[in-house]
Structure 1
């Protein structure tokens, strides 16, 4: 009788640990986004590092920009053609493909400087999540 109670308690604890594992792993992977204004405002601190930012993405021709209305800042997004194998990036590209299309998104990638005076910074995109089309 005593061993039956220990077995039930152990089985319950194991079941709870297995159920909580994916939730704990998911929250550890999802870094809260920095504001684009913070990253641009202190760009020297972020150059060459991986950033996760949220903003409004739009395309004009072959250029995709991520912007923030609060500071009127923007960065270009480099969406590698080899990255189209990744579903999140391919879906994001379709969401902002046409001129005038906009979507809010959380973008993760390497922050770097460019030689372009209009858009002095860019993000080489590794992943995109939470894409919502803007009407």
Structure 2
């Protein structure tokens, strides 16, 4: 009798683990790529939408997204249409007006710029998971 109860409990536990595992595997949003990954195969991404994570900073009027792992840099452009979105406005205020470095996930269109120094840019559609970084983390 105890063996039957144990088998049923173990079976129920296994079913719960399988259900939890498949629910975790079905995420609505894919994990962001790294800038290094996108720049490493840039031709594949030009003209497509990308989701990347990196450190955003603004110098003058230019906002960039960088990755220290590969020293990758892409410019970020935020047009007027995206500029009306709350997440983009908040992000722009954080990195431009406040002059803060921020770790962020950027979703936008990856384009070639024609500039030899920074050959690629992302036209920002949305921003999420923005975390201000301390100034002491020099970049």
Task: Give the TM-score taking structure 2 as reference length.
Answer: 0.74
Corresponding residue of 2:85? 86
Displaced runs of 4+ in structure 1, greater than 4 A? none
| Larger CA deviation: 51-60 vs 78-87 | 78-87
Alignment root-mean-square deviation, CA: 1.9
Please give the per-residue CA displacement for 1:51-75, whole angstroms capped at 9, x wherever unaligned.
0000000001110000000000110
SS in 2 for 1:32: coil
Taking the aligned partners of 1:60 and 1:99, their CA distance within structure 2 comes to: 12
Taking the aligned partners of 2:105 and 2:98, their CA distance within structure 1 comes to: 20
Taking the aligned partners of 1:97 and 1:112, their CA distance within structure 2 comes to: 22
User: How many aligned positions are there?
Assistant: 111
Gaps of 5+ in 2: 1-22, 135-139
1:48-127 residue pairs with structure 2 within 5 A? 48-98=47-97, 100-127=99-126
Corresponding residue of 1:131? 130
Tell me how far 1:99 sits from its aligned partner. Answer: 7.4
* Contact 1:112–1:123 (8 Å) recurs in 2: yes
Gaps of 5+ in 1: 1-22
Please give the per-residue CA displacement for 1:72-127, whole angstroms capped at 9, x wherever unaligned.
01100011123221000000001101475200000000111011111100001111
